[in-house]
């Protein structure tokens, strides 16, 4: 190892010291510090603060835990919560609202909706429009629950429901078909009341 | 009197068969107390933090320790390739052995007449009570040290090193805190110390010693706020990082048994053992209940402190041990000695 000479000899330091310090002017804030406590006072302070902490934790013992016991108790969702999708029918005629226009599939950023349209015939009328969705699948393992499909739909045929318990054992089971989306969902999720 | 004479001088000893029964009973009691402390700690910590704690296994989660132990015992005995096999297996055994051995001297009651035989409600009444305790406390340090070192992992080693430094630092203060009591009681036998507290429990005249012993006891058992040996944020898991299954369970068991031992010693030495205040003299069978009640109070304090105080920094731990606790303990012993001499 070469002996490196001191890069800042004393004569270069001296001019730097002569530079007058920057004056903060009017912006000076006087900081007052408490005098450093002596041994006895600091010991007392430590003891007092420890006791305060102990009292704080002890007070928690008398309180109810704030835990939500999840599978039994559920946190209610807000009305606009975006959960699993629902497909809708007209209540009076029972026809599907979806006309198979594929706008939802086009709007989907995750590309998880697959729509195959087919023509309605007089003896097989499925939807109110000219065409209907012969295949309507949502791959919920890809869905990001953004709600764009709901916004894109011109007939309010697809909406986001409140169901969020969607885990399953295989990926295939997470591809929801038209029948599953049309079926009346099990309302497993409590809805939040107005004042909650 | 039995023909079998103990090697050391003891306050009172029974025929050999009573000693065997006693040792089994006390070990069984200790073995049952540990899961109770375990579940109590987890439930209480939960409540201290505004949650329930374990409540799924059994009624109110009461079978959680059983489930934990079953899980640990059915796990694979894993050993790192860099470890020293013999010591790796031996270290948890040392920890558990010393904890159980220390548990033997805690008196749960005075000598009682049971079916016409005189039986002391304690493992053994050694005439060197606190010294026996500190001897096994010093051996317990090998359990941690060897366990950490033989793991062949730097985290374990660091944890073990911290544990070693901490145990050595605080054992001195702990010993000196007891000196005051020993001087006042003029005996080293733990049953003798309890009977000497008939007038007044020692935590009143020996308040400083009591507090010092408690603080050092937290450090000795490696419990919060002195749990630097297993500072999980820095050391993964400390000296027991590489241990799993039954060996980890042994360390865990030893830790909680040590908490019980310190609670028992505090109860015996400072809180009057089986004595009750206001001159109440219950029948002899109440004594163990009184001792266990006092022990659970001290154990509650352990859990309470764990729920409250954050972990100390390593240099704070060392400077507190050597610069504060040790001078205070020395001063306490000196003042007590002077007062005792002046009074007599």
Would you call B50 and A65 a contact, using CB atoms and an 8 Å cutoff? yes
pTM for the complete prediction?
A: 0.76
Q: Is the pLDDT of residue A64 over 50?
A: yes
Is B212 or A196 the better-scoring residue by pLDDT?
A: B212
Helix (H) or strand (E) holding B194: helix B190-195
Would you call A69 and B47 a contact, using CB atoms and an 8 Å cutoff? no
B134/B330 Cα distance (integer angstroms): 17
Strands (E), A12-165: 85-87, 113-119, 131-139, 158-160
Lowest mean pLDDT among A78-82, A111-115, B5-9, B257-261: B5-9
Q: Residue B126: how many CA atoms within 13 Å on its side-chain side?
A: 17
Residue in B47, B304, B305 nearest the CB of A65: B47
Give, for all 344 residues of chain B, the pLDDT tens digit. Answer: 444 555 556 656 677 777 788 888 888 888 888 889 989 999 999 888 888 888 888 888 888 888 988 888 888 888 888 888 788 888 889 988 898 888 888 888 777 766 667 777 777 777 788 888 888 888 888 888 888 888 888 888 888 888 888 888 888 888 888 888 888 888 888 888 888 888 788 877 888 889 899 988 888 887 878 887 777 677 777 788 888 888 888 888 888 888 998 999 999 888 888 888 777 777 777 788 888 899 999 999 999 998 888 888 888 888 888 888 899 899 998 998 898 888 87
CB atoms within 10 A of CB B1: 7
Q: Is the pLDDT of residue A8 over 60?
A: no
B77/B155 Cα distance (integer angstroms): 20
**Distance in Å, alpha carbon of B211 to nearest chain A alpha carbon:** 12
What is residue B2's predicted lDDT score, i.e. its pLDDT? Answer: 47
- ipTM for the predicted complex: 0.72
Contact between residue A141 and residue A113 where contact means Cβ atoms under 8 Å apart: no
**Cβ burial, residue A79 (10 Å; 0-12/13-18/19+):** exposed
B35/B58 Cα distance (integer angstroms): 14
In tens, the pLDDT along A147-179 reads: 999 999 998 899 998 888 888 888 888 898 888
Choose from A40, A61, A73 for mutation: most chain B CBs within 10 A: A61
Would you call A61 and B47 a contact, using CB atoms and an 8 Å cutoff? yes
Contacts of B304 in chain A (CB under 8 A): 54, 57-58
Residue in A53, A58, A66 nearest the CB of B50: A66
Q: Architecture of domain A85-182 in CATH?
A: 2-Layer Sandwich (3.30)
A17/B67 Cα distance (integer angstroms): 71
CB atoms within 10 A of CB A20: 5
**Distance in Å, alpha carbon of B202 to nearest chain A alpha carbon:** 22
| In chain B, residues 29-48 whose CB comes closer than 8 Å to chain A | 44, 46-48
CA distances from B320 to A49, B30, B327 (A): 17, 32, 10
What is residue B172's predicted lDDT score, i.e. its pLDDT? Answer: 86
- Strand-pair partners of B117: B114
CA distances from A66 to A69, A125, A164, B46, B305 (A): 9, 53, 22, 11, 22
Helix (H) or strand (E) holding A176: strand A175-176
| H-helix segments, B49-120 | 64-73, 85-103
β A85-87/A158-160 pair status: antiparallel
What is residue A109's predicted lDDT score, i.e. its pLDDT? Answer: 93
Contacts of A58 in chain B (CB under 8 A): 48, 304
Residue of A nearest to B300 (CA): A58
Residue in B47, B49, B308 nearest the CB of A54: B308
């Amino acid at each position: 190892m070469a002996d490196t000479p001191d890069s800042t000899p004393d004569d270069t330091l001296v001019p730097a010291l002569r530079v007058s310090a920057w004056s903060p002017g009017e912006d000076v804030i006087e900081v007052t510090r408490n005098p450093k406590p002596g041994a006895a006072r600091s010991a007392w302070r430590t003891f007092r603060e420890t006791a305060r902490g102990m009292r704080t934790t002890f007070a928690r013992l008398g309180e109810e835990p704030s835990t939500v016991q999840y599978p039994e108790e559920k946190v209610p969702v807000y009305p606009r919560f975006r959960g699993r999708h629902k497909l809708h029918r007209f209540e009076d005629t029972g026809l599907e609202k979806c006309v198979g226009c594929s706008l939802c599939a086009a709007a989907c950023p995750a590309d998880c909706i697959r729509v195959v349209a087919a023509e309605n015939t007089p003896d097989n009328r499925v939807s109110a429009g000219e065409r209907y969705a012969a295949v309507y699948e949502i791959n919920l393992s890809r869905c990001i629950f953004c709600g764009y499909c709901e916004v894109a739909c011109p007939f309010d045929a697809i909406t986001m429901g409140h169901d969020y318990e969607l885990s399953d054992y295989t990926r295939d089971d997470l591809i929801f078909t038209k029948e599953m989306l049309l079926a009346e969902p099990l309302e497993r999720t409590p809805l939040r009341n107005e004042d909650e | 009197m039995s023909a079998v004479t103990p090697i050391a001088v003891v306050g009172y000893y029974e025929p050999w068969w009573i000693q065997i029964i006693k040792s089994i009973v006390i070990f069984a009691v200790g073995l049952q107390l540990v899961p109770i402390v375990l579940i109590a700690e987890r439930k209480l910590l939960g409540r201290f933090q505004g949650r329930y704690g374990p409540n799924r296994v059994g009624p109110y989660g009461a079978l959680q320790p059983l489930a934990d132990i079953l899980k640990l015992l059915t796990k694979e005995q894993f050993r790192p390739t860099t470890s020293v096999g013999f010591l790796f297996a031996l270290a948890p055994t040392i920890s558990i052995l010393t904890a159980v051995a220390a548990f033997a001297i805690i008196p749960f009651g005075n000598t009682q007449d049971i079916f016409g035989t005189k039986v002391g409600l304690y493992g053994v009444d050694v005439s060197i009570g606190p010294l026996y305790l500190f001897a096994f406390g010093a051996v317990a340090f090998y359990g941690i040290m060897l366990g950490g070192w033989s793991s062949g992992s730097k985290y374990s080693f660091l944890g073990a090193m911290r544990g070693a430094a901490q145990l050595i630092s605080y054992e001195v203060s702990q010993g000196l805190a007891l000196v005051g009591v020993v001087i006042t009681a003029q005996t080293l036998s733990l049953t003798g110390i309890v009977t000497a507290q008939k007038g007044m429990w020692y935590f009143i005249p020996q308040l400083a010693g009591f507090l010092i012993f408690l603080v050092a006891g937290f450090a000795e058992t490696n419990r919060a706020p002195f749990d630097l040996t297993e500072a999980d944020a820095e050391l993964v898991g400390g000296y027991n990082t590489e241990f799993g299954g039954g060996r980890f369970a042994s360390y865990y068991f030893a830790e909680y048994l040590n908490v019980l031992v310190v609670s028992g010693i505090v109860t015996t030495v400072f809180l009057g053992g089986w004595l009750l205040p206001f001159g109440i003299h219950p029948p002899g069978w109440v004594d163990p209940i009184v001792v266990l009640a006092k022990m659970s109070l001290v154990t509650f304090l352990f859990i309470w402190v764990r729920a409250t105080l954050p972990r100390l920094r390593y240099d704070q731990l060392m400077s507190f041990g050597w610069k504060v606790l040790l001078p205070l303990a020395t001063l306490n012993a000196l003042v007590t000695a002077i007062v005792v001499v002046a009074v007599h």
